[in-house]
Amino acid sequence: MTDKKTSRLLTSPYIAWAVIFILVPLAMLFYYGLTDVNGGLTLDNIRAIAEPVHLRALLLAVVLSVVSTIICFLLAYPLGMILAKHKLSSQGLITTLFILPMWMNFLLRTLAWMTLLENRGVINGILDFLHLPEINIINTPGAIVLGMVYNFLPFMILPIYNSLSSIDDNVINAARDLGADAWQTFFKITLPLSVPGIISGVTMVFIPALTTFAISTMLGGSKILLIGNVIEQEFTLTYDWNLGAGLSIVLMVFIVVNMVISAMSEGDDSSERRNVKRFFSHTSGSDAGSGKDER
């Protein structure tokens, strides 16, 4: 859309910024991760991930964060559809209401969950009053998953809602006119068109969930050690920056995986989907689109 020169001009400030504040610090991290206390080159800090203590923490973190991501997706997608469907003037309001809880600090909200979930906490108090059996999930992996879902759900809602609301109604109507039923329309049109949003959402939930340590500390009673806790302790407690950096480098494998996935989805972009869009944009496309947003 923009020519090369303008593009370079527009992107260069950010590229400079990214180099100084993302890449250089990262290089320092690699320096720490690949050296020992005396500055000698070593791979021990990376290999340390194979130690049972670290491996268990990593696996548990992966399991819990995958479960949380799936739950977030299952909760957020229908919500995104509902929000995107009602293109009322209050849609911004409703969306914001789902983001609003984040304006209370996340440590505070997690603290509130402790109060709610405790064995003699608010929820059990209510259950007791109703003569229902009590729940004891505080300090279990279940509580951690709950905390993750609660804290990261907005990260899933927002991108999914964004990409769903940018789907042109005419595409959907056309599919229906051409005889597709509701399910076919959903699986052939809506879902594929919302893939960029889903990928954003999954990234935004999975990674913070994978690396969290505050949630597992507070809702897991410090009994459950995730990889985030291990790294945090290397930096703040045992003061082994080299090992902490080494383990962080291992975590970065997930970045690479993520990069590959988003690159793949971009490849997707060029195929069928874009042709569909091209076709419809000629008939009614973006004018209606831009008008819609001003409302």
Partner 1 sequence: MRSKIEKIYMGIIFVFMYAPILTLIILSFNTSKSRARWGGFTFQWYINLVNDNSVLNAMANTLIIAMVSTVFATVIGTLTCVGLMGLRRRSRTVIMGITNIPMINADIVTGISLMLLFKVLRFETGFITVLLAHITFNIPYVMLSVMPRMKTINPNTYEAALDLGAEPFYAFRKSVLPDLMPSIIAGALMAFTMSIDDFIITYFTKGSGFDTISTKIYNEVKRGIQPEIYALSSIIFIAVLVLLFASARMRQRQAAQRKDVALYKVEKRISKGKAAVIAVASLGVILLAMYFGGVFTRKNNQLFVYNAGEYIDPEVIEMFEAETGIEVVYDEFETLEIMYAKMVQNDGAYDVICPSDYMIEKMMNAGMLRELDLNMIPNRKYIGKQYMESARSFDPNNSYSVPYCWGTVGILYNKNMVKEPVTSWDILWDEKYSGEILMQDSIRDAFMVALARNGYSINTKDPAELEVAAEDLVKQKPLVQAYVIDQARDKMIGGEAALAVIYSGEVIYTQRENPDLAYSIPDEGSNVWIDAWVVTRKARNPEAAMKWINFLCRPDIALMNFDFITYSTPNEAAREMIEEEDIRNSEVAFPDESILDRCETYFYLGEDGDALYNEMWKKVKSGK
Among positions 10-29, residues that touch partner 1 (CB under 8 A) are 10-11, 13-15, 17-18, 20-26, 28-29
Q: Which parts of 36-95 interact with partner 1 (CB under 8 A)?
A: 52-53, 56-57, 75, 78-79, 82, 89-90, 92-95
Query: Which of 184, 269 has the CB closer to partner 1?
Result: 269
Of 114, 148, 155, residue with least CA distance to 226: 148
Q: Which of 98, 170, 180, 192 binds partner 1 (CB under 8 A)?
A: 98
Q: How many CB atoms lie within 10 A of CB 31?
A: 13
Cβ 129 to partner 1 shortest distance, Å:
14
How far is Cα 269 from Cα 292, in angstroms, rounded to an integer? Answer: 24
Q: Give, as ranges, the residues between 254 and 273 that touch partner 1 (CB under 8 A).
A: 254-255, 258-259, 262-263, 266, 269
Angle between helices 91-99 and 141-165 (to 10 degrees): 150
Alpha-carbon gap, residue 134 to 112, rounded angstroms? 18
CB of 177 to partner 1, least distance (A): 21
Contact pick of 100, 127, 191, 288 for partner 1 (by CB under 8 A): 100
Show contacts with partner 1 in window 151-190 (CB under 8 A).
Answer: 153, 158-159, 162-163, 165-166
Q: Which residue, 184 or 236, has its beta carbon nearer to partner 1?
A: 236
* CB closer to partner 1, 43 vs 88: 88
Q: d(Cα 251, Cα 244) in Å, to the nearest integer?
A: 11
Residues 6+ apart with CB under 8 A from 102: 154
Task: With CB under 8 A as the rule, give the number of residues binding partner 1.
Answer: 128
- Reduced to 3 states, what is the DSSP secondary structure of residue 226? coil
Residue whose token pair is 């909760």: 75
